[in-house]
């Protein structure tokens, strides 16, 4: 049978649960012996064909409506989903839509549907959470994420080194990381290496860094990079990922399980599980506008969406 599936987005442009459902449907239909194609409008040029896991994908653009640009407009989408969650403020739990109610049920077990919810934005930029939700005297903190290449943590390199040193990482290994961070070429002091160049030339040092990072306390890493940061008073209770009307979430226990289950991930990037540590801006062109960011690191959770989906699918099996 020939089957055409139409959706706005398709892998790897994942913004919510719908995209994963479409991907699973297309691949399962293909594996069942059908001739499956997907048409979507998340491209940035004339219709382009590609094959992903045996499924033919046709990507176009929606006329003057640039869907890919819209997806990449993080600020717009972040504001909308924050506003969507804040919409529950002063509502009773029984008045929520099913998705909102499921989130509340996960965060506040054994709730009474007649209770009134309070919700507001976090105004402190140093906090990990974006939204607070309060029922009775219990407050939960929500972090909002979307799209790909999600950054979960930023801090100065010297503070990260101090933190890692306290966890038992030796100075020699920290020096290796500092060399990577600044792209230092020990054979040419006048040259700054890109991440790709550094990984190719100093592969052994990258492997040593990653091997040592596996020895440290993973709970403290999760707390620092995802749940609390350096100075936050409120730990993140859940990460909400997606769009205002189509989102997924994982609570802090889920986060810990996901990170621990990926500790044996292999990559040529510097990482702990699925969390990649990299310069905020290596500033290869010495642009004065960005020089101040050279001394900062960022932690990226590139596979956040895929990890959430995989974890939730595995939970459904048991």
Please write the tens of the pLDDT for every residue from 115-158.
999 999 888 777 889 899 999 999 999 999 887 788 999 999 99
Write the pLDDT tens digit of every residue in 179-214. Answer: 999 999 988 888 888 888 999 999 999 999 999 999
pLDDT, position 140:
95
Residue 296, helix vs strand vs coil? strand
Smallest CA-to-CA distance from 88 within 143, 133, 123, 136 is with: 133
What is d(CA 74, CA 175) in angstroms, rounded to the nearest whole number? Answer: 35
Q: Work out whether strand 275-279 and strand 271-272 pair parallel, antiparallel, or are unpaired.
A: antiparallel
Indicate if the pLDDT at residue 69 is higher than 80: no
Backbone angles phi, psi at 244, to 5 degrees: -55, -35
Residue 77 is predicted with a pLDDT of 55
Q: What is the rounded distance in angstroms from the CA atom of residue 163 to the CA atom of residue 191?
A: 29
Please check whether residue 121 is in contact with residue 131, taking contact to mean a CB–CB distance below 8 angstroms: yes
Instruction: Residue 131: name the closest of 90, 93, 92, 81 by CA.
Output: 81
| Three-class DSSP category at 262 | coil
- Interior/surface letters 281-314, b for 16+ CB within 10 angstroms, e for the rest: bbbeeeeeeeeeebebbbbbbbbbbebbbebeee
């Amino acid at each position: 049978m020939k089957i055409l599936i139409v959706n706005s987005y398709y892998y790897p442009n994942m913004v919510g649960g719908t995209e994963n459902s479409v991907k699973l449907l297309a691949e399962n239909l293909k594996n069942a012996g059908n001739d499956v194609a997907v048409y979507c409008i998340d491209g940035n040029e004339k219709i382009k064909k590609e094959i992903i896991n045996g499924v033919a994908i046709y990507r176009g653009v929606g006329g003057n409506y640039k869907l890919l640009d819209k997806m990449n407009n993080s600020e717009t989408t972040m504001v909308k989903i924050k506003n969507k969650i804040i919409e529950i403020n002063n509502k009773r739990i029984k008045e929520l839509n099913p998705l909102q109610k499921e989130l509340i049920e996960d965060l506040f077990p054994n709730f009474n549907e007649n209770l009134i919810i309070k919700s507001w934005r976090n105004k402190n930029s140093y906090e990990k959470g974006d939204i607070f939700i309060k029922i009775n005297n219990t407050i939960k903190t929500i972090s909002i994420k979307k799209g790909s290449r999600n950054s979960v943590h930023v801090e100065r390199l010297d503070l990260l080194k101090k933190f890692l040193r306290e966890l038992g990482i030796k100075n020699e290994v920290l020096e290796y990381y500092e060399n990577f961070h600044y792209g230092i070429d020990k054979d040419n002091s006048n040259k700054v290496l890109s991440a790709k160049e550094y990984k190719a030339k100093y592969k052994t040092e990258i492997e040593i860094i990653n091997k040592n990072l596996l020895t440290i306390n993973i709970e403290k890493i999760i707390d620092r990079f995802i749940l609390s940061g350096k100075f936050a008073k409120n730990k993140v209770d859940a990460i909400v990922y997606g769009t205002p009307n189509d989102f997924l979430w994982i609570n802090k226990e889920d986060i810990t399980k996901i990170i621990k289950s990926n500790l044996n991930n292999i990559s040529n990037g510097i990482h702990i599980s699925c969390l990649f540590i990299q310069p905020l801006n290596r500033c290869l062109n010495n642009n004065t506008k960005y020089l101040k960011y050279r001394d900062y690191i960022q932690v990226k959770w590139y596979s956040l969406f895929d990890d959430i989906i995989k974890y939730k699918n595995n939970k459904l099996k048991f």
